[in-house]
Copies of this chain bind each other. A is one copy, B any other.
């Protein structure tokens, strides 16, 4: 799961993204914190290590990485975007009580779809919402 600095820089080089300290740090953060963080989480955590970091740079970098498919933008919340390293396709479940976003496996090829012939599908997002096990228990004991 954790990638070396060299592996990360190679990822950027392959996509012809110029190397910068900030970009490497942000890509490193996304790889080491697979909790679908928000821009604010990334910014506030990284600021400790990179005090000069600007929030604009976090936005710019995440947009750059998303354009190159190195990160995936998750817009399951209504308000702020969350970010995920792009690994194999999976679904996202957001608990409406605690707000945590969980990954789940779903077979993207088994969908029985009707009405999209002659459409070119570039992206499939599966967003579920409800209650996570912990919050179900908490609710029951109130």
Contact = CB atoms under 8 A, between A and B. Distances in A.
A119 B130 contact: yes
Contacts of A118: 133, 136
Interface string A130-142: 1111001000000
Chain A facing B: main interface SS:
strand
Contacts of A25: none
Contact-residue bracket for chain A: 35 or more
Given A113-B106, A115-B105, A128 B123 contact: yes
Contacts of A136: 118, 120
B110 A112 contact: yes
Interface string A86-122: 0000010100100000111111001111111011111
Q: Which 8 A-B pairs have CB atoms at the shortest separation, nearest pair first?
A: A104-B115, A105-B114, A122-B130, A118-B133, A123-B129, A120-B131, A125-B127, A121-B130
